[in-house]
Amino acid sequence: MTTGGRAGAPPARRRDADRNRQAILVAARRLYAARPGAPLYEVARVAGVGQATLYRHFADRPTLIRTLAREALDDLRDQLHGGHAPPLTRAERLDLVTQALAASHPLLETLRDALATAPATREEPAAAWWPDSATR
């Protein structure tokens, strides 16, 4: 249940709902780092919430994965544009991107799905440049 906010503003979420959402995200990050294919019921168990609570926040696995990927991209953007003095070199920026991809399976999975579903630029099947994209 939500409480009303000021007129025109979206309703505020309850604190326990915010806590549950954060617990789900923390559990999902941890589980997907160890086992990328972990099922949602396991995410709920590790988060200490019921499956219904998980589904209230995330309708399905792709929604949860996209949320985690978006957070990883936001973190990467903050690192890349953090006002470094001196500014980062290309090699340092590439290293940050590589580290972000290695650290976030949801980010890697989202990027992989985007690449696998993008139209080929040279009339070649996606499997020609992404080994197991045909199985997805």
Q: Where are the alpha helices (DSSP H) in the chain?
A: 15-34, 40-47, 51-57, 61-80, 90-103, 105-117
The whole-number average pLDDT for the span 82-102 is: 87
Q: Above 80 in pLDDT, residue 103?
A: yes
Q: Above 50 in pLDDT, residue 95?
A: yes
Contact between 75 and 60 under an 8 Å Cβ cutoff? The reply is no
The whole-number average pLDDT for the span 113-126 is: 70
In DSSP terms, which residues pair with 126 in a beta bridge? none
Q: Per-domain residue ranges for the chain?
A: 1-58, 69-136
Under the banding of pLDDT at 50, 70 and 90, the label for residue 122 is: low
pLDDT digit string (tens) for 69-78? 999 999 998 8
pTM to 2 decimals?
A: 0.70
More confident residue, 67 or 1: 67
Q: Above 50 in pLDDT, residue 2?
A: no
Q: What's the half-sphere exposure (Cβ side, CA atoms, 13 Å) at 83?
A: 0
Q: What CATH fold (topology level) applies to the domain 1-58?
A: Arc Repressor Mutant, subunit A (1.10.10)
Judging by beta carbons within 10 Å of its beta carbon (0-12, 13-18, 19+), is residue 103 exposed, middle or buried?
middle
**3-state SS, residue 131:** coil
Least confident of 26-30, 42-46, 116-120: 116-120
